Amino acid sequence: MPQVPELTPTEFLDRWPRGADDPGVVLLDIREPVELDTASVAGAQHIRMGELPARLGELNRSQPMVIMCHSGARSLRVAAFLLEQGFEHVFNLRGGIDAWSLEVDTKVPRY
């Protein structure tokens, strides 16, 4: 598995102050629909982990991309997969949406 760089939610916002709405980055949420119904980050792009291999063509290989799940474990695997597929600037969101809720936006429900 390739070495995947990681960012905390705070580090993500330090780099891209407009968050998921920043045109310079894609925040890719790979969680399941039931998880999205519980908690989500406005502006994030959603592609389920299981659908990602078939939908790679929807993603820009040269644009920075931060992958997010609930805790950071699934997104780490997806980020490694994307690096193996030739994507250039891929990061894992360490701690996932749970860390986002704790560090950035307490209105995002924890589950």
In a domain, 110, yes or no: no
pLDDT of res. 62: 87
In a domain, 58, yes or no: yes
Check 69, 76, 79, 108 and give the catalytic one: 69
In a domain, 19, yes or no: yes
CATH number at residue 38: 3.40.250.10
In a domain, 111, yes or no: no
In a domain, 108, yes or no: no
pLDDT digits (tens, 9 = 90+) for 92-107: 999 999 999 999 999 9
For residue 69, indicate whether it is catalytic. yes
Q: Which of 105, 111, 110, 75 is nearest to 13 (CA)?
A: 105
In a domain, 109, yes or no: no
Range of the domain at 99: 6-103
pLDDT digits (tens, 9 = 90+) for 27-72: 999 999 999 999 999 999 999 999 999 999 999 998 999 999 999 9
**Residue 80 CB burial class (10 angstroms; 0-12, 13-18, ≥19):** middle
What is the number of structural domains in the chain?
1
pLDDT of res. 48: 98
